[in-house]
Amino acid sequence: MLSDQSVDGECSISKNYPVTLSGGDGLMFTKAEYFKNTSCDKKDLEKIYRIRKDVFFDRLGWDVLCSGGLEFDAFDNADCDYLVVRHQDTLICSCRLIPTTRPTMLSEVFPGLLRGEDYLPDPAVIEISRLAATACPSLRGGVMSLILQELRRYASDHRVNAFVFVTTTAIERLLRRHGVRLQRFGDGRTTLVGGVRSVALRLHPADIPQVN
């Protein structure tokens, strides 16, 4: 699930996508990248899981399993890729990417958010989950911009037709403010998850505005 307080073959490193942030101290993010779980540096993997524990367990109070200060689950396996954002070589944000031909959060944990629509596994459809970032509200917009541009590149490299994900209506509004066109599943109605209004969304790569 993508939370409104948290802003998923070979190792593949992205081009740099510089994004100058407005306000705050004018920091600049310089790099987003993705890689497979199996090729991820151990320190990077621990940082991903530690940020997730800070966000989902400590800040949001979700009922997630943690061990040794890290949050990870059965979906963090050889089938998944991770997309990360770094600032000055420090990993500050990540999300998980899983092919829908494998078990996903939407199929196994939140099937009710399909709102009557059939779940159709497709190798060209990828689930995004566990989006989490270090706590720095002034940088949030820049992080989201980098994530969206790297998702476009990931889709192009892997022939992805669509991304699907579960998120809050707050994150849905944030994405729409970034110019992203989204489709709700099924009847389009929201569902309360942990007392928060949530939806399952479909995102086509062509509906992500490109940053030149």
Tens digits of per-residue pLDDT, 73-121? Answer: 999 999 999 999 888 888 889 999 999 999 999 999 999 999 999 999 9
Q: Contact at 8 Å (CB) between 163 and 155?
A: yes
Q: Could you give phi then psi for residue 164, rounded to 5 degrees? A: -130, 150
- 14 domain-assigned: no
- 1 domain-assigned: no
What's the rounded Cα separation, in Å, for the pair 201 and 167?
8
**Pick the residue with more confidence: 73 or 18?**
73
- 3 domain-assigned: no
Total domains present in the chain: 1
Q: Look up the domain containing 157 and give its range.
A: 19-207
Whole-prediction pTM: 0.83
Cβ of 157: how many Cβ atoms within 10 Å?
Answer: 11
CATH number of the domain bearing residue 154: 3.40.630.30
